């Protein structure tokens, strides 16, 4: 059971996904800190400053619109960076591969070996049947003790 779990966890896609999630979370924290430390105070300053800047009071309830604007800016910045640093470059590489300008991912050695074996077996099958009969004089498929 542990071996199966180990195989699952160490599979390439799972490790890549885990790394992506950790980096994404760290990046989101950086963007959130940036917008909280610099953009939200700017929004509050533009709104007039003071104790309730970036918010308004209705019947003693505070509506903090600066936090909402800050969250929207955080989302847009994160989406923008992900698109231009991850999605767009992968799209360009994919288009180049379709046009044949860039080689695709290399096949695994297992696939290469199986392809070679297949090709060798095809060659052997073609050289054994020059006139429709194999090298055994036409006895292929007969039981050795069986006579005609």
DSSP string, 112-137: HHHHHHHHHHHHHHHHH-SSSS-TTS
Instruction: Identify the CATH number of the domain in which residue 115 sits.
Output: 1.10.1200.120
The answer to whether residue 140 is domain-embedded is: no
Instruction: Please state the separation of Cα 141 from the chain's center in Å.
Output: 50
The answer to whether residue 135 is domain-embedded is: no
Can you give the length of the chain in residues? 148
Model confidence at 127, pLDDT cuts 50, 70, 90, reads confident
CB 66 within 8 A of CB 54: yes
Longest dimension (CA), the chain: 110
Model confidence at 132, pLDDT cuts 50, 70, 90, reads low
111 sits in which H/E element: helix 109-128
Report the alpha-carbon distance of residue 48 to residue 35 in Å, rounded.
19
- Residue identified by tokens 């989101």 is 28
The answer to whether residue 136 is domain-embedded is: no
pLDDT at 52: 67
In the chain, the percentage of residues whose pLDDT exceeds 70 is 73
Which structural domain, as residue segments, surrounds residue 78?
2-128
The answer to whether residue 31 is domain-embedded is: yes
The mean pLDDT value for 27-53 works out to 81
pLDDT at 60: 84
CB 14 within 8 A of CB 8: yes
- What are the tens digits of pLDDT across the range 86-114? 788 888 888 888 887 766 566 667 888 88
Residue 56 in this model has a pLDDT that exceeds 60 = yes
How many domains is the chain partitioned into structurally? 1
pTM of structure: 0.48
């Amino acid at each position: 059971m542990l071996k199966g779990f180990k195989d699952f966890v160490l599979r390439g896609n799972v490790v890549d996904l885990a790394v992506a999630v950790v980096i994404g979370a760290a990046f989101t924290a950086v963007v959130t800190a940036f917008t909280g430390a610099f953009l939200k105070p700017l929004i509050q300053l533009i709104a007039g400053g003071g104790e309730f800047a970036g918010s308004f009071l209705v019947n003693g309830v505070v509506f903090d619109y600066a936090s909402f604007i800050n969250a929207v800016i955080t989302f847009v910045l994160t989406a923008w960076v992900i698109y231009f640093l991850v999605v767009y470059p992968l799209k360009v590489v994919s288009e180049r591969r379709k046009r044949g300008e860039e080689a695709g991912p290399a096949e695994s050695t297992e696939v290469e070996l199986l392809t070679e074996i297949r090709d060798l077996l095809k060659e052997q099958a073609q050289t054994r049947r020059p006139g429709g009969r194999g090298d055994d004089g036409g006895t292929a498929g007969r039981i050795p003790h069986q006579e005609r």
